[in-house]
Amino acid sequence: MAMARKAGWFVAVAVMMAGWMGVLGSVRGVAEAGVIASSFEDAGSRVEDMAKVQSFLENKVVAQKLVDYGVSPAEAMAKVQAMGAQDLHRLASLTDRAAAGTSDALGFLIGLAILVILIIIIFKLMNKEVVVR
């Protein structure tokens, strides 16, 4: 009898959700697409991008990796100076991402702690015991 009542609620909620999705699906929106032109300033941003890349190449870890791959830091800097403005800008944006990713150890630890807590909560909801010895 209890299962029938639970199943009845499930059917009622399922029908209500299906009706609501039907209403939302019938509403039509307008979708527009287009190309957005990017603005690119050559003189000012090139100096800033060069400074970003140069400071990134002066990092000890990066310099060691360059040497490991058989490229001297002077050769790498010469290649960077020979790059076009768009390629230099792309490289500078990638160095920003790489620099942000290397110092995010605290975020990794917080994510790991949240994952462990979620696993413990799931085990508790399944009436399992977590024993740490």
Q: Name residues whose C-beta falls within 8 Å of residue 50's C-beta, 6 or more positions apart in sequence.
A: 80, 81, 88, 92
d(CA 71, CA 69): 6
Q: What is residue 64's predicted lDDT score, i.e. its pLDDT?
A: 84
Q: What is residue 114's predicted lDDT score, i.e. its pLDDT?
A: 79
Q: What is residue 74's predicted lDDT score, i.e. its pLDDT?
A: 85
Q: What is residue 68's predicted lDDT score, i.e. its pLDDT?
A: 84
The C-alpha torsion from 111 through 113 and 117 to 122, rounded to 10°, is 50
Residues for the chain: how many in total? 133
> Tokens 């024993």 sit at which residue?
131
User: Does position 14 have pLDDT exceeding 70, yes or no?
Assistant: yes
The percentage of the chain sitting over the pLDDT mark of 70, rounded to a whole number, equals 75
pLDDT tens-digit readout, 41-84: 555 678 888 888 888 888 888 788 888 888 888 888 888 888 88
DSSP letter for 33, please: -
Maximum mean pLDDT: which of 14-18, 98-102, 127-131: 14-18
Q: What is residue 96's predicted lDDT score, i.e. its pLDDT?
A: 66
d(CA 123, CA 115): 12
d(CA 79, CA 126): 59
pLDDT tens-digit readout, 111-121: 777 777 777 77
Please state, rounded to an integer, the average pLDDT across all residues of the chain: 75
Q: What is residue 4's predicted lDDT score, i.e. its pLDDT?
A: 55
